[in-house]
A and B are shown apart, each in its own frame.
Chain A
Amino acid sequence: MNTVIFRTVTPLIVAIMLVFSVYVCLRGHNEPGGGFIGGLIAAAATAVYGMSAGVAAVRKALVADPLALAGFGVFIAIVSGLMSLFTGSPFMTSIWLYLDLGEAVVPLSTPMLFDIGVYFTVFGTLSAVVLSLEHPGNGEDL
């Protein structure tokens, strides 16, 4: 695993995967993609990075604990659902906001926020699982 080629290429691959995961997540409403797939791609990036650079480096790069990210995801999803309380409609009624930036109109919406929550949950949970499996201390006594 720890070949020079792998270690050299990994940062590039991981960077591309992460950017691509965000892209896939955001475009998901109209084209193939979505938070779930995006989260899976990002988690795969974590796994690859963990294999090459070690778990400690990944945790340092992530800053937050992956499970905390997952919890944050569920939190965002719930908050996106609660937004509809402000318009007086039932839980999870979607709200759309079209930001006109002159050159392009950027649609923002609570379903998008929700999808971002899904992204974080999937990403965080799988990263946590993968990292705890990759951790060298783990499982030696199993």
Chain B
Amino acid sequence: MLTVEAGLILAALWPMAAAILAPLVQRLLGRYSAWLLALVPTAIFIYFLSLVGSVAENGALAARIAWIPSMGLDLAFRLDGLSLAFALAISGIGAMIVLYSGAYLQGHPHLGRFLGFILAFMGAMLGLVLADTMLVLLAFWELTSVASFLLIGFDHARQAARRGAIQALVVTNIGGLALLIAVILMQRVGGSATVSGLAPLGADPIYPVIFICICLAAFTKSAQFPLHFWLPNAMEAPTPVSAFLHSATMVMGGVYLLARLNPVLGGTEAWTLTLTIFGGVTLIWGAFWACRQTDLKQMLAQTTIASLGLLVMLIGIGSEAAITGMIVYFLAHALYKAGLFLVVGAIDHETGTRDLNGLAGLSEHMPLTFIAAAIAGLSMLGVPATLGFFAKEEMYLAFEGGDWSQLLAFGTLVIGNALLGGIGLTVGLRPFLGAERATPRAPHEAPVAMLVGPLLLAAGGIALALNIEWLAEVLIGPATNAVGPFAVALHLSPLPDFTDPLFFASVLTWVLGVVVFMRLDLLRRAMRRIESGFGWTFDKGFDTLMFGLIRFSGAVTRFLHHGRLELYLVLVFSALALALLGPVLSLDGLAALWPAADLGGWSSAIGGVALRPYEWAVVALAVVGLVAVVIAPSRLAAVLLLGIQGTALALLFLLFGAPDLAFTQFMVEILSVVILALVVARLPLDHHDHRPFEDWARDGTIAIVCGAGVSLLLLVVLSGTLDPRLGDFFIETSVPVAHGANIVNVILVDYRGFDTLGEISVVLAAGIAIVTLFRGRAKPAGASSA
């Protein structure tokens, strides 16, 4: 038996390892690879199943490995009821998805890669629900986004798939960034790196910031209105992906995050109101929009949005019944929605269409698929003996009072559930009943690998519903306890209670659901009319935003990056002049240079400069160099004459006791003259300066201001007293501690070695950039000269 530590960590890492091996396995085993790879999630599922008892008993299992002990950061994993419910759903459905994908994409050249992506996603998702350290949670959160991007864009030759992938990545990454901010803030304020170590933060002054960031993260991931638009486009992915990521698991990440943080952030008015309102709007929006679609997959996508809204709403309400309802609904939804998606995939695969109006009478050809679809559809409506029934009962129990807001929320739930039920019936029954219609392909039953999933999911839903008391004890209770401090009273009974007035709410839901089922065409026409009257969708809004962003960055680039060298130089040196003079003038630095009262101080200062004759000669050399550069007849000559000044400066360094500096100055001077001369020779420049007077005056002014700025700054610095502590320290310690007599070198390679390391990296990077620039330019020339 594995230790819990090893088990929990392996659960997240094993799928990753399998993901890396998947393409290889696929190449070796061909069509049977999926059967082998499905063993990985199956084993993980069984492992989690074996932990059910001890989690129910102990509340939570924890594992921890030291990661960065000096910063108090550990890799902490924790398995409580909530994590367990998610982990079971992820691994259980994951096993079926892997199996299903093998058949669904049979013969696809990139099947191995696809299975790898799916397994990698599963590892990320398991890591997400198991992680206790918030940074680890964040990392897995982002990994699920990346996996989702890869899977949506799997069919990358199609533009729609690429667009859907990018859209999903952009939207969920905004949430990821928000989560990063929230994690940092919670770690700071809450004083704990793990979720389980956080105390409630509701009263903290920066609670609103954390709350908004968490909401943004959860709402983007879980497609809450108005950030829901990416989810329908994510349906460009192959159907098993839609079933797994964009219905049963990944999009539940946001719901999981909210549920996980409910003890920390929940209970405030902002929390209740925000989640209930956004969840409610999302529920109604998604449910109505589902009626508008005729593509079965799009209908399911919209109902997924609605279901996510429902879950968020229940977390917002936050009472014991609501949270219990949330957990049951999550399980029920995972089972029936994944099942329905897989059924739709099978229909699409075997008939060549998934248009609602083009399908009828398939029950004869696909009887097993029909059974699975019908059970899933009924569970979605919430009839007795399905898990959906209990989910609905529980959430209705959350309402007791007659407060108008309670009634509104209750009405929202009933209408939402009825619409979802109607859609469930439509998807589950409509394609299979009635007179048969011609389809692009002759319909026949799906292969075994594609039947196992839907049938097991349907059977699982019924089995769990029949053993609801057991389920409540081992899973729903512990999961609810993980979200809120409830002493869960088990009020789930397998039989409907006819005396309870809430039962009639259920009946009302069923009736309305059947009405929706019967009159769906009417509803769809109405929705289409509303949509065409509106003329604007969030999807289009996203495009407008993205293209606006591209246009904006294009405009900024064109403004800054205009390609005129002389203007770049003007900008750079103007900024330099500003940086030099700004501080000196604004901080009143010139006062130190100003003569005290009479001008006598100046004359003595000048008189005090006692230079030897040969030192004066060097100064004169520098002046000669300056004049020579300014009056040089050609550009090349100017560059070469620049060397005179540099040499004079190097001599000054040498004379005043800085041999290292002089040495370097000499070499830099030589090399820069060589390089500049080469550049001038290469550039298609006139040999002579033909600038108009105003340009000449502008450049001259900037040059003089820069020069004056450097001089002034140096004078101001030297007029103050220098703090000798640092110099003394180096003089004292250089030989005994650093074993070097040349202090300049010791500072470079030892005391401040880290700085030097950074500098040489920059030197290397600059060299690569320069060489690349020349090579890029040289290509056409090289081609012509060759």
A126 and B748 within 8 A (CB): no
Chain B's interface: helix, strand, loop or mixed, by majority?
helix
1/0 per residue, CB under 8 A from A, across B639-659: the answer is 000000000000000000001
| A132-B749 contact, Cβ under 8 Å, with A40-B668, A74-B764, A118-B756 | no
Residues of B in contact (CB 8 Å), total 47
Q: Is A141 an interface residue, CB under 8 A from the partner?
A: yes
Q: Is A41 an interface residue, CB under 8 A from the partner?
A: yes
Q: Is B761 an interface residue, CB under 8 A from the partner?
A: yes
Q: 13 extra interchain contacts, Cβ-Cβ under 8 A, other than A29-B745, A40-B671?
A: A33-B663, A34-B660, A36-B664, A47-B671, A67-B771, A70-B767, A73-B764, A94-B739, A111-B753, A121-B763, A130-B678, A137-B782, A139-B683
Complex Cα gap A29–B764 (Å): 23
A122 and B763 within 8 A (CB): yes
A34 and B749 within 8 A (CB): yes
Complex Cα gap A36–B748 (Å): 9
1/0 per residue, CB under 8 A from A, across B397-422: the answer is 00000000000000000000000000
A124 and B767 within 8 A (CB): yes
B640 to chain A, nearest CB (A): 14
**Inter-chain residue pair count (beta carbon < 8 A):** 161
A32 and B682 within 8 A (CB): no
Complex Cα gap A135–B778 (Å): 9
A121 and B683 within 8 A (CB): no
Chain A's interface: helix, strand, loop or mixed, by majority?
helix
B749 and A115 within 8 A (CB): yes
Q: For residue A139, which residues in chain B have a CB less than 8 angstroms away from its CB?
A: 682-683, 774, 777-778, 781
| Smallest CB-CB A-B distances: 5 pairs | A125-B767, A139-B682, A40-B667, A133-B678, A30-B741
Q: Is B744 an interface residue, CB under 8 A from the partner?
A: yes
A142 and B763 within 8 A (CB): no
Q: For residue B761, which residues in chain A have a CB less than 8 angstroms away from its CB?
A: 74
Q: Is A22 an interface residue, CB under 8 A from the partner?
A: no
Chain A positions 41-55 with a Cβ under 8 Å from a chain B Cβ: 41, 43-44, 47
B741 to chain A, nearest CB (A): 4
Q: Is A31 an interface residue, CB under 8 A from the partner?
A: yes
Complex Cα gap A35–B753 (Å): 12
Instruction: Tell me the B residues contacting A by CB distance below 8 Å.
Output: 659-660, 663-664, 667-668, 670-671, 674-675, 678-679, 682-684, 738-742, 744-746, 748-750, 753-754, 756-757, 760-761, 763-764, 766-768, 770-771, 774-775, 777-778, 780-782, 785
| A132-B774 contact, Cβ under 8 Å, with A32-B659, A70-B767, A73-B760 | yes
A73 to chain B, nearest CB (A): 7
A122 and B682 within 8 A (CB): no
Q: For residue B770, which residues in chain A have a CB less than 8 angstroms away from its CB?
A: 128-129, 132
Q: List 28 A-B contacts (CB under 8 A).
A: A30-B740, A31-B741, A35-B749, A37-B660, A37-B663, A40-B668, A44-B670, A67-B768, A73-B760, A77-B756, A91-B754, A92-B757, A111-B740, A114-B750, A114-B756, A114-B757, A118-B748, A118-B749, A118-B760, A121-B760, A122-B763, A125-B766, A128-B770, A135-B774, A137-B781, A137-B782, A138-B682, A139-B683
Residue of B nearest to A109 (CB): B739
